[in-house]
Each structure stands twice: as C-alpha cells, then as structure tokens.
Amino acid sequence: MTAASPLRTDTVLAGSGIEPPPTPVEVYEAGLRATVAGRSRGWLVRHADGRSAELPLSAWLGGLLPGDAGLLDRCSGPTLDLGCGPGRLTAALAQRGVPAIGVDVAGYAVALARGRGGTALKRDLFAPLPGEGRWRQVLLADGNVGIGGDPVALLRRCAQLLLPGGAVLCETDPPGTGLRTLRTRLEPPSGAPSSWFPWVQLDPRSVSGPATAAGLTIAGWWSDADRWFVVLSRPAG
C-alpha cells in the first residue's frame, strides 16, 4: 500500500498510561494477515472528512485486476514498483521477464511479494534505493501517488529514480475529483484504529501542477476498466 514511513500524528504524554494508537503499517499488516487467513471483511480506510471505504485487501492479494494489463504492457524496461504491497504487479513483471523491484515499508507485504516470485525490499522510498537514476519506469499504482500527502515531493523523488527519458506510470482518481489533501487512518473490524496520516487524492488534470513542479511532463494518459492512468516523463535532455 505504502512505500514511505507513516508518521505518528497522535501525541501521547509520557507517563499518562494512555496507549498510543497502532501505526498505519501495523494495522495494514494485520489486515493482510487476516485476509490471508480468510477474514477480509470490515477493514476500512477512513478520512477525517467522514468518507470511508473498504480497504481492498482481497483484491491486492489476488491475481491481476482489470486494467493491470495495460499498465504492465507499458513497462518496457527495468521498473520500480513503489508501494508494491503484496506484489501482484512486481511478480507479474518478473513473470514477463521485465526486471522489477517492489518497495514497501510493510515487511509482511514484502514477504508476500517475494512469495509470489517478485523481488521486493522493505524500504522507505525516500531512503537510498538500488539503481537510482537508472529505472525506465516507476509505478505508482492503486492510488500510491497519495503517499506522504505531498505529491510534489513524491514525484520529485520518482524523477530522481528515473533515467532521462524514463516515465512514472501514475494511477489517479477519476476525472473531476480534483486534488484533495486528507487526514486518513486505517480501521480494523475490531480494536483500535491507526494513527492519522497524510494522504492526497488527485485526478488526471490535477496531477499536472505537482508533476511540473517535480520536473516531469505529462506524456500521455489512458483509461481502462474504470481506472485512470497518467504517464509522467522525465525529460531526456
């Protein structure tokens, strides 16, 4: 789900006896473990504005989703999958013979990705990564353009990872939703929710500003199976 370390946003006074909430990574990993054990229902992502949705853990743990094929077809060389989660895309690229590494901060997700046959690292995406400046594609699928709540910083990091002429393949929200800066948490079906963490949602049009600020240009877009994707290119010169 995420490839950057979530910050604990709840302040807990030392000696107060109040237990801090679990981190988003802890709740996410618990959800993955429950889903592997057949208990996938009731795990939610909730925003501070009141909106909530089911966390699609079963989909992430399953096979390729509608719309994935077009994303994979555009991976023409070494690919870095940021926020790889359980690794469905990383493993699919390996099966196609495309060099790929998945990156995620959730150790259990990384173990699942490796179990599928993918190469994956437990790493913050802002930490040093293999092959910096030499990747042909960087994937930000499943809404991972929201990681960290700062799309300019995230896309600037992606630009650093790409070789000149390389591209970020970025999945967005549907057109018309704009850019929304959110406080978000993960909620299990029982037990304490995670601490709040920053997140961003963008549509294809609203990606343009952060991409330009990060030194990337919009090189194309496509839609498939009610999913929307934008190609952000690092200039070759």
Domain that holds residue 212: 24-233
How far, CA to CA in Å, does 234 sit from each of 36, 69, 130, 185? 38, 23, 18, 32
How far apart, in whole angstroms, are the C-alpha atoms of residue 215 and residue 217? Answer: 7
Within-domain flag for 12: no
Confidence of residue 2 (pLDDT cuts 50, 70, 90): low
Backbone angles phi, psi at 199, to 5 degrees: -150, 160
What does the mean pLDDT of the chain come to?
A: 93
pLDDT (0 to 100) of residue 1: 55
Checking if the pLDDT of 172 tops 50, the result is yes
Question: CA nearest 108: which of 49, 181, 29, 169?
Answer: 29
pLDDT (0 to 100) of residue 134: 97
Mean pLDDT of 169-196: 96
Confidence of residue 214 (pLDDT cuts 50, 70, 90): very high
Mean pLDDT of 188-211: 96
Q: Tell me what percent of the residues of the chain surpass a pLDDT of 90.
A: 91
Confidence of residue 18 (pLDDT cuts 50, 70, 90): confident
pLDDT (0 to 100) of residue 19: 83
pTM for this prediction: 0.92
Checking if the pLDDT of 115 tops 90, the result is yes
Within-domain flag for 62: yes
Amino acid symbol at 119: T
Checking if the pLDDT of 225 tops 80, the result is yes
SS3 assignment, position 121: strand
pLDDT (0 to 100) of residue 4: 56
Instruction: State pLDDT tens for residues 118-150.
Output: 999 999 999 999 999 999 999 999 999 999 999
Checking if the pLDDT of 11 tops 70, the result is no
Within-domain flag for 94: yes
Mean pLDDT of 89-102: 98
Within-domain flag for 3: no
- State the burial class of residue 176 (Cβ atoms within 10 Å of its Cβ: 0-12, 13-18, 19+): exposed
Within-domain flag for 16: no
Within-domain flag for 5: no
How far apart, in whole angstroms, are the C-alpha atoms of residue 111 and residue 104? Answer: 10
Instruction: State pLDDT tens for residues 29-46.
Output: 999 999 999 998 999 999
Domain tally, the chain: 1
Here the CATH number for the domain that contains residue 217 is 3.40.50.150
Q: Tell me what percent of the residues of the chain surpass a pLDDT of 70.
A: 93
pLDDT (0 to 100) of residue 6: 45
How far apart, in whole angstroms, are the C-alpha atoms of residue 61 and residue 49? Answer: 28
Asked if 216 contacts 168 with a C-beta cutoff of 8 angstroms, the reply is yes
Within-domain flag for 55: yes
Within-domain flag for 14: no
